[in-house]
Structure 1
Amino acid sequence: MSAASRAGSLPANLQGLWADGLNPPWSADYHININIQMNYWPAEVTALSELHDPFFRYIERLLPHAERTAKKAYGCRGAVAHYTTNPWGHTALDGRIVYGLWPDGLAWSALHFWERFDYTRNLGFLRDRAFPILKACAAFTLDYLVKHPRTGKLVSGPSNSPENTYIAPSGERGWIVMGAAMSQSMAFAILSRCEQAAALLGVEPELRARCREAIANLQRLEIGSDGRLKEWPEEFPEAEPGHRHISHLFGLHPGYEIDVDETPALAAAARKALDHRLAHGGGHTGWSAAWITLFWARLGEGERAWQFFEKLLRDSTESNLFDTHPSGGGPIFQIDGNFGGTAALAEMLLQSHAGRLRFLPALPKAWPSGRVRNLRARGGAGVDIEWKDGQAVSATLRPETTGTHRLIAPQGQRIARIEANGKSVAWKDEGVRLARGVVYRIAFQPAG
């Protein structure tokens, strides 16, 4: 990343910086229906925040083009981009409907601006850079949502579940629906983050009210009759049950709608959907294996996360450690799996979403003892962790902002003590207030 995403340069594309020849795969473009986002998943958590900036600047340059597309193609306010773009500001509809009619690419990219703020708590960045793009995407979303005539809930569409297809009642393959799970999750995420940003900045009360009202009336994720999380609003048979995209689990990662503690029923449905996809051959590309590793990490399943991390290295990594994507002519180099795998490794060791800081949430038996230094947590803190014989020994927190953190010990353990400046620090289950510039040392012990 330090080579492919330097200040003043374009962001890393499908081949990072290493696109060979004059006609590289997919024109070495910017696929914004997961690939470029995955490239930057490790940026904040691995303390490479400054390398995120070329992506932010690129999205900011897209914004005026995306505003014209929203107006001309949809008659909507705000801004929109689709599955792919390029250095010249392409945001228009193009390609086949199965992948082209997906108006969530800019919104997904905008969520990275929130992530930068969440990891740094820099209000200047939120005000000057994050909020304008969040507001533009929220404006489009509010205009694009419509009331479903049967349920009365707000649904996004027409849209698709990226690059995937279903079998319609006629027996034909279908692509387009009103209210695909990923589009609903994206609407929830962008409206929620826009509302939160405006509240923190003390601006746009009318926009905040519109976002809250839309969220209250939004069709949320549903569980099918077989217990799986639904990808489409109807329980259509899947044309490719082992498809590489698992877009309906966006709410598990990188989203935050599905949480093992807060929404156990949705977590169980996500687990069942993932098992079904894998039973039919899913995860056969490098980037897909990386995403699946992240899913298992969020579900707290260390052994299954390790299984797919190993698969990524074994089946989709060349001797030079470049990630690959299968093709009829042989494996193609595609760097997103490298970056996604890096993010997955960090996610197995530390998670900081959903208002919790979880230590070693998905530690596999393959890593019985070890330590990690200077990971980053949301809320603005550096984190070191040491473990031995599968048990956390200690952690160090270095907050850069003052705030409350809810600390979650590894499964089967509890926090024994917290110290700062040689003195004991009191804490409660609902959280501990950490002061900027103070180093906190945490010791763990068995829960019994």
Structure 2
Amino acid sequence: MMWGDGNPLKFTLDKADLWDLRSNNDFMTHPDFSYTGLQRLVTEGRFSEVDEVFEQRQSRDNPIGPTKISIGRAELRLGDPISYDCHLDLSTATVDGVLRTAAGEHQVQAFVHRNRNVFCLRVTDLPEHARMELIPLAEMNDCLAKLNHPAPRLVEEDDILRILSQSIPDGPCYVVVWNVSGPDFFMSFGAAESEASATSVAKSAWHEAADMGLENLHQEHTKSWDAFWDGSAVYLPEQRVSFLWHFGLYLLSSSSRRGSVPPGLQGLWPMDGVMPPWRGDYHADMNVQETFWPAFASGHLELADNWCNLMRDAIPAAQEFTRRFFGTEGTFLPCCTLPDFTVVPCWHTVQLAWSHSGWLGWLVWLRWRYSMDKEWLESCGYPVISEIFRFYRANLRQEVDGHLHVPLSSSPEYRENKPVAWCKDPNIDLALIRRCCDWVVEMEEALGVDALRASARDVRARLVPYSLTANQELCLWPDKSLEESHRHPSHLMPIHPAMDLTTEDGEDARRIIDASLEHYFSLGQYRWAGHTYAQMASLAAVIGRSEFAFDCLHQFAHYWIGPNGLHFNRDTRETGHTCYRGQDLRFTMESSCAISAGISDMLVQGWRDIVRVFPAVPEHWKDIAFRHLLTEGAFRVSALRADGETLYVRVVAGVDRALRLPNPFAEAAIKTEGGTIRLEGNLLIADLKKGQGISLWRDDKWCEGVDFHSRAMPAMHRGVGWLGLR
């Protein structure tokens, strides 16, 4: 995080793998700490004991940690500031600009190398006194002392290098190496089990960077970012919307890599000098899901792999927790965790809800659907989903009506952690259990396995139906309608993202969808949050409500992001638009990521094995295009629209698969190249082999051989990538 006016220029530092994971788990030894104990205490109305056993004991025993740990702040003093003119270019992840101080004019360039743990900074015409200093977090915040972290150790090596080392008890030691004098500064980072190993890693990285020089490092850095952005693209007529798409991907790509620890709530951009809000945890009632959402349609599946791998690797620990708490087989995933399945305090009504397991499983299912990679499915996807299904199957209870029921859960985050939040058969749980059954069947058929298919079909058939009002509106749970504006549309899970009810499921399903949305709208948006608009943008897109989807983008951009693009959980301008207002500047990254995914959903969709191009674009987007977006079924799709009409579509198959495309060209004559198309009703169908691409275009408004990029660029608003210019 780069900030400050030059007196000093400041850099708040973080590293993905720095966590204090020590936890006091004595709270689990209480005799009532079990699902049976929870049911009994709730049934008997002993809610103060519920709060004590399932929330307060853990919070008291773990007041600060487990938690994410940041590094601290680097500072460079340039003199009394006069003016500041810098910006972050998203296309190259580089800050460029000019700072004017009493000492003169300073050209500034800064970047964190995409493939090296090195921060690079050039500041020209430095004052003679200017030195890069590093203030460790331990000197800014006494929480590390309370966690019994040893004091950081600073070593001066010659007159050039400084080496800061900090150990995390029962965790890694991290080391920062930097040169104090410029104009070119290199700051490298290493983490390992021992200080010696971490120092060796960091010093080697520093010397390699210094030997290469800043220009070569930047060339290498920008080449890597160019390759990333070349993976897919959107060409949109509005600068603000285009920024939202790019920024969400930028945040995720900057903080999520294969083999790395997945980003928590704030990614790699900590608040300066404080411990992270909510411990920087993995919040599974929306935040994790929204964070990794854009990895799929953007075609950057690698951005979701570290999360999917974390879920797979957590299975043994999650199985142990499930056996201990529920006394059953399977994998239950609580709401709030850190790496290594470290459970951290949370509202007990949310922590122990059943929906998190299924909604996290949904991410794994998406990773399968967008790749159709059977090797990945066998090694990661199926093991996770089958374990979640086993948990559901073991804990559903059949009652006298013949249906399977959820005995006790909640509809996050309705009524927060109050007693009235506890319920039976919440619709969010039912939707995810239904879909989990579908995923098991689909995955076993793909793998040629027949271990759980019959059981999954049986559970789905016997599961209690959704609870509806007399007006066919989805309830929170039986006989309980949402009666207030709320930030979490949990009761709409059957519509989206579970998509157990779609607009193509017949009149009854459409009636439920329409009635449920009208009811939700009737309650107003005063208690919606930024993440609500992010989630609802995609919901609107998949049901074809393009203007509502666009309005969600507009509301998010206007009320929920700050001047530097970051999403705050408050309307900081206090416009009266929402009850969540004020100067509480706790940034979280999930909403920016989800908005990016929502924009992709407006451009292309692939659910139910049908590829839909421009399914939810607003009326005023006459000229738009996208390139190489990915859909379910592993299709890479490019398309162009001019003057409100689709002119060109190209689809490349990632696996052997039939393309089913609703005719986007209306009644116009079309031409094709690369494959044979047949028409079945309104569907254009082509049997494609892996790697085979087929192009379709309007014969009257497109010519063979036209360059797609040159036709798409006029739709692109110029200057999209600038951030923080002032």
TM-score, structure 1 normalization: 0.91
Taking the aligned partners of 2:433 and 2:668, their CA distance within structure 1 comes to: 37
CA distance in 1: counterparts of 2:492 and 2:591, whole angstroms: 18
* 1:82 paired to 2:334: yes
1:392-445 CA distance string (max 9 Å, x none): 1111001121111321245x9367436233x65323246432222222112359
From 594, 600, 606, give the equivalent of 1:340.
Answer: 594
Contact 1:165 1:175 (8 Å CA) reproduced: yes
Counterpart in 1 of 2:473? 228
In the alignment, the residues of structure 2 paired with residue 139 and residue 415 of structure 1 have an alpha-carbon distance, to the nearest angstrom, of 51
Alignment counterpart, residue 300 of structure 1, candidates 518, 522, 544: 544
The CA distance in 2 between the partners of 1:404 and 1:415, in whole Å, is 23
Percentage of matched positions with identical amino acids: 23
Q: What amino acid does structure 2 have at the position aligned with 1:337?
A: S
Aligned residue number for residue 438 of structure 2: 192
Amino acid at match of 2:692: V
Q: State the one-letter code of the partner of 2:318.
A: A
CA distance in 2, matches of 1:185, 1:445: 44
Task: Give the direction of change, closer, same or farther, for the CA distance of 1:160–1:300 in structure 2 (3 Å limit).
Answer: same
State the distance in 1 between where 2:676 and 2:385 align. Answer: 41
- Cα distance in 1 for residues equivalent to 2:676 and 2:457: 41
- In the other structure, the counterpart of 1:317 is 561
- 1:280 maps to a residue whose letter is L
Q: Is the 8 A contact 1:413 1:445 kept in 2?
A: no
In angstroms, what is the RMSD of aligned CA positions?
A: 2.3
Residue aligned with 1:443, SS = strand
Equivalent AA in structure 1 for residue 472 of structure 2: G
Contact 1:65 1:89 in 2 (8 A): yes
| Alpha-carbon distance in 2 for matches of 1:306, 1:138 | 36
Asked if 1 retains the 8 angstrom alpha-carbon contact of 2:639 and 2:646, the reply is yes
Write the distance in 2 (CA, Å) between the matches of 1:228 and 1:131.
34
**Which residue number in structure 2 is paired with residue 272 of structure 1?**
515
* 1:170-224 alpha-carbon deviations (Å, 9 max, x no partner): xx96212221101001111112101211122112x24211111111111233431
Deviation sequence 1:47-78 (CA, Å, 0-9, x none)? 11111111112212321121011101001101
Residues 268/201 of structure 1: CA separation in 2 closer, same or farther (3 Å cut): same
* 2:355/2:428 contact within 8 Å kept: no
**Matching residue of 1:169:** none
Query: What secondary structure, in the 3-state scheme, does the structure 1 residue paired with 2:342 have?
Result: coil
Q: Pick closer, same or farther for the CA change 1:148–1:267 going to 2, 3 Å.
A: farther
In the other structure, the counterpart of 2:694 is 440
Distance 2:537 2:461 in 1: 32
Change (3 A) 1:419 1:156: same
Helix, strand or coil: the match of 2:636? strand
Find out whether 1:364 has 2:618 as its counterpart.
Answer: yes
**Kept after mapping to 2: 8 A contact 1:417/1:425:** no
Q: Aligned residue for 1:155? A: 405
Q: Give distance in 2, aligned partners of 1:109 and 1:183.
A: 12
Higher alpha-carbon deviation: 157-166 or 310-319: 157-166
Letter in 1 for 2:305: D
Name the SS of the counterpart of 2:649 in structure 1: strand
8 Å Cα contact 2:262/2:306 also seen in 1: yes
- Aligned length, in residue pairs: 434
CA contact (8 A) 2:336 2:346 kept: no
Deviation, structure 1 residue 372: 0.6
Amino acid at match of 1:146: R
Pick aligned residue for 1:104 from 332, 350, 355 = 355
Structure 1 residue identity aligned to 2:387: A
Please state if 1:285 is matched with 2:285: no
* Residue 237 (structure 2) aligns with: none
Contact 1:363 1:390 in 2 (8 A): no
CA distance in 1, matches of 2:465, 2:654: 35
CA distance in 2, matches of 1:309, 1:275: 19
Aligned counterparts, 1:250-265, within 5 A: 250-265=493-508
Q: Which residue of 2 aligns with 1:63?
A: 315
For 2:407 and 2:506, the matched residues in 1 are separated by: 26
What is the rounded CA distance, in whole Å, between the counterparts of 1:243 and 1:60 in structure 2? 33
Secondary structure at the residue paired with 2:259?
coil
Higher mean C-alpha displacement, 82-91 vs 275-284: 275-284
Alpha-carbon contact 2:494-2:500 (below 8 Å) kept? yes
Aligned with residue 460 of structure 2, among 188, 212, 215: 215
1:344 CA drift (Å): 0.4
Would the alpha carbon gap of residues 445 and 349 (structure 1) be closer, same or farther in structure 2, given more than 3 Å must change? farther
Corresponding position: 1:419 with 2:672: yes
Q: Is the 8 A contact 1:267 1:299 kept in 2?
A: no
Q: 2:627 aligns with which of 373, 378, 393?
A: 373
Q: Give per-residue Cα distances to partners, 1:330-373, cap 9 Å, x unaligned.
A: 34311111011000000011111122111111110231111111
Q: Which runs of 5+ in 1 are unaligned?
A: 167-171
Q: 2:264 aligns with which of 3, 10, 13?
A: 13
Q: Secondary structure at the match of 1:405?
A: strand
After superposition, give the CA deviation of every residue in 1:141-163 in whole Å (9 maximum; x if it has no partner): 101111233x3211223111111
Partners of 2:636 and 2:311 in 1: how far apart? 27
Larger Rg: 2
Describe the shift of the 1:124–1:195 C-alpha distance in structure 2 as closer, same or farther (beyond 3 A).
same
- Decide whether aligned partners of structure 1 residues 415 and 269 sit closer, same or farther in structure 2, where only a CA change above 3 A counts: farther
When residues 298 and 353 of structure 1 are mapped into structure 2, their CA distance, relative to the original with a 3 A threshold, is: same
The CA deviation at 1:264 is: 4.0
Separation in structure 2 between the aligned mates of residue 403 and residue 341 of structure 1, nearest angstrom: 30
Q: Cα–Cα, structure 1 residues 323 and 414, in superposed 2: closer, same or farther, change >3 Å?
A: farther
TM normalised by structure 2 equals 0.57
1:68-93 CA distance string (max 9 Å, x none): 1110100110111121111241358x
Query: Hey, what does 1:201 align to over in structure 2?
Result: 447
Query: 2:500 and 2:671 mapped to 1: Cα distance?
Result: 30
- Work out the CA distance in 2 between the residues paired with 1:185 and 1:444: 41
Distance (Å, rounded) in 2 between the aligned partners of 1:334 and 1:143? 35
Quote the Cα distance in structure 2 between the aligned partners of 1:27 and 1:218: 36
Secondary structure, counterpart of 2:640 in structure 1: strand
Contact 2:641 2:647 in 1 (8 A): yes
In the alignment, is the contact (CA less than 8 A) between 1:161 and 1:248 conserved in 2? yes
CA distance in 1, matches of 2:524, 2:398: 36
* Distance change in 2, residues 1:238/1:445 (3 Å): farther
The CA deviation at 1:231 is 2.0
CA distance in 2, matches of 1:407, 1:284: 35
Q: Which has the higher strand share?
A: 2
Contact 1:381 1:400 in 2 (8 A): yes
Kindly provide the CA deviation profile for residues 288-346 of structure 1, in whole angstroms up to 9, marking residues without a partner as x. Answer: 11111111111101111101110011111111111121255434311111011000000
Distance in 2, matches of 1:25 and 1:267, equals: 40
Residue type of the partner of 2:354?
A: P
- 8 Å contact from structure 1 (residues 416, 442) kept in 2: no
Paired position in structure 1 for 2:207: none
Aligned with 2:661 (options 394, 404, 407): 407
Q: Is the 8 A contact 2:319 2:331 kept in 1?
A: yes
Post-superposition shift, 1:381? 1.3
Which deviates the most, 15-24 or 63-72? Answer: 15-24
